[in-house]
Structure 1
């Protein structure tokens, strides 16, 4: 929708306008870097907090499995610590 692209432009402007650019090439490079970061490296909530590049290259399942394992280990450690301090 129009609102999504307007939000994207607002985010772009907010990031780009933080610095002064004295040459047009420097501004173009900054915009290109932002677009690359936004489309390839930034975690997207709609993709399960994965980067689009990870989803596109088929790494999503491995990453989500690893996160799930880390979460389970962390919860178990916290339970053990809680039991030790409660005893």
Structure 2
């Protein structure tokens, strides 16, 4: 199993980096993710293992594809991963410029 991971990482040109557990400087993001997952999962009772597995899957789907992350310019991780970030940010800037121009025009019409 470890050899499979090492081979896959080599194919992707990546390194496996390990950090000290419970050490915020190295584990902060994943520790926070686990805390968020745990807080969400503990809200309900699960009577069958499949129920818990489905809830974890739903959380991961929501976290990666729906929930906006402030640290990545209010995009979803999927947007960044699949290369949609620049197009989304450009569209947001276009909408912002158009909105500001429209508000200026409305203000000028009211003043005149």
State the TM-score, normalized to the length of structure 1: 0.78
CA distance in 2, matches of 1:31, 1:40: 14
What is the CA RMSD across the aligned residues, in angstroms? 1.9
1:26 aligns with 2:51: yes
CA distance in 1, matches of 2:84, 2:66: 13
CA distance in 2, matches of 1:41, 1:28: 19
Larger Rg: 1 or 2?
2
Where does residue 12 of structure 1 map in the other structure? 37
CA distance in 1, matches of 2:28, 2:42: 21
Q: Which runs of 5+ in 1 are unaligned?
A: none
2:70 to 45, 63, 66: 45
Q: Which runs of 5+ in 2 are unaligned?
A: 1-25
Higher relative contact order (CA 8 A, sep 6+): 1
